[in-house]
Structure 1
Amino acid sequence: MIVWINGTHGVGKTTTSALVQQLIPDARVLDAEKVGETLMDITPGLPWTGSFQHWPPWRPLVVETARHVLEYTGGTLVMPMAVLIEQHWREISAGLAQHGIPVRHFVLHADLSTLRRRIESDADLGPSAFRPQHLEPYAAASRAWLHHEAEVVDTTHRTPDEVALQIAEAVKR
């Protein structure tokens, strides 16, 4: 099974995923961003499209990487990755379904002021010019499709431990 943890940049996907991994037996974290980083390392490079998610190979490579890791290890993959374009999510989820891999799709949500505060006060990454650029695309995706396609977990007034426990308990049910 895959536990996909979606949401905008700065909402806490990576932190939550590490905590969820500790709560689900035989769970491993597979960050789909690493697939994008691998593509970015290709030299002389792929034509820049603004995001590695727009490169046609990224989505099927995410599916195939997850499939092969699950075949090798079994258990549960916890995958933190913001996917805000509906067509990209459709390609990934259809690819996983084609291989019979069940997906529990969660979206971490927080109100805008909380997101801005978290981004600005991030002790690990520091203030970011990149992450605030994704707040409006996240809000648009939330209204259009994302919140209808996933289990929404409001993180506004909750600790990462509380959020991870909610997700782990939902997966175990």
Structure 2
Amino acid sequence: MIVWLNGTHGVGKTTTSVLLQRLLPKSRVLDAEKVGETLMDITPGLPEMNNFQHWPPWRPLVVETARHVLDYTGGTLVMPMTVLVEPYWREISRGLAQHDIPVRHFVLHADTETLRRRIADDMVTGPASPFRLRHLEPYAEAARTWLHDEAEVVDTTHLTPAQAAQRIADAVMDGTSTAVSDAPHRGVG
């Protein structure tokens, strides 16, 4: 099984994924961004794009990497990765389904004010990361138009990463498929 943690940059996917992995038996974290980094290391470089997800090889490579890791290790993969382009999500989820890999898709959500504060206070990536700030509106648009309909939304506005991880772990281990949030199903705060 894959537990995919989606949401905008700076919402806490990476932190939550590490905590979630500790709560799910036989699980591992696979960051699909590393697949993108591998593609970025090709020399001479691939055609210039502002996001490695736009490179057609990225999506099937994510599917194949996850499939091979699961074939080798079994268990659960926790995959923190922002995917805001609906056709890209469809391609990935369809590819995983073709290999009979079940996916629990969660979106970590926080209202815009909380996101801006978290981004400003993040000392790991640097305060007020322009990259993260640029993705707030694309996330809001994806949330309004398709993303919140495709996933279980976990409103992290008033949750610590540990609390968010626990809610997701409980939902996965209980097998419940209902939203684990009081957030509006469509739209963003």
TM-score normalised to the size of structure 2?
0.91
Partner of 1:149: 150
Q: Show structure 1 runs of 5+ residues with no match.
A: none
1:39-81 Cα distance to aligned partner (Å, 9 max, x none): 0000000001211000000000000000000000000000000
Q: List structure 1 segments (4+ residues) > 2 angstroms apart after TM superposition.
A: none
Q: In 1, Cα distance between the equivalents of 2:51 and 2:161?
A: 27
Partner of 2:177: none
Aligned residues: 173
Alignment-mate amino acid for residue 36 of structure 1:
G
Q: In 2, Cα distance between the equivalents of 1:57 and 1:137?
A: 22
Q: Are 1:125 and 2:125 counterparts?
A: yes
Percent identity, please. Answer: 76
1:129-156 Cα distance to aligned partner (Å, 9 max, x none): 1100000000000000000000000000
Give the C-alpha shift of residue 126 in structure 1. 1.5
Q: Show structure 2 runs of 5+ residues with no match.
A: 175-189
Partner of 1:161: 162
Partner of 2:102: 102
Q: In 1, Cα distance between the equivalents of 2:131 and 2:111?
A: 18
1:103-140 Cα distance to aligned partner (Å, 9 max, x none): 00000000000000000100211121110000000000
Q: In 2, Cα distance between the equivalents of 1:47 and 1:145?
A: 29
Partner of 1:71: 71
Partner of 1:57: 57
Q: In 2, Cα distance between the equivalents of 1:33 and 1:16?
A: 16
SS at 2:134 equivalent: helix
Alignment-mate amino acid for residue 51 of structure 2:
S
Q: In 2, Cα distance between the equivalents of 1:16 and 1:85?
A: 22
Alignment-mate amino acid for residue 141 of structure 2:
A
SS at 1:106 equivalent: strand
Q: In 2, Cα distance between the equivalents of 1:85 and 1:27?
A: 27
CA RMSD of aligned residues (A): 0.4
Q: In 1, Cα distance between the equivalents of 2:159 and 2:170?
A: 16
Q: In 2, Cα distance between the equivalents of 1:168 and 1:19?
A: 10
Q: In 1, Cα distance between the equivalents of 2:57 and 2:162?
A: 34
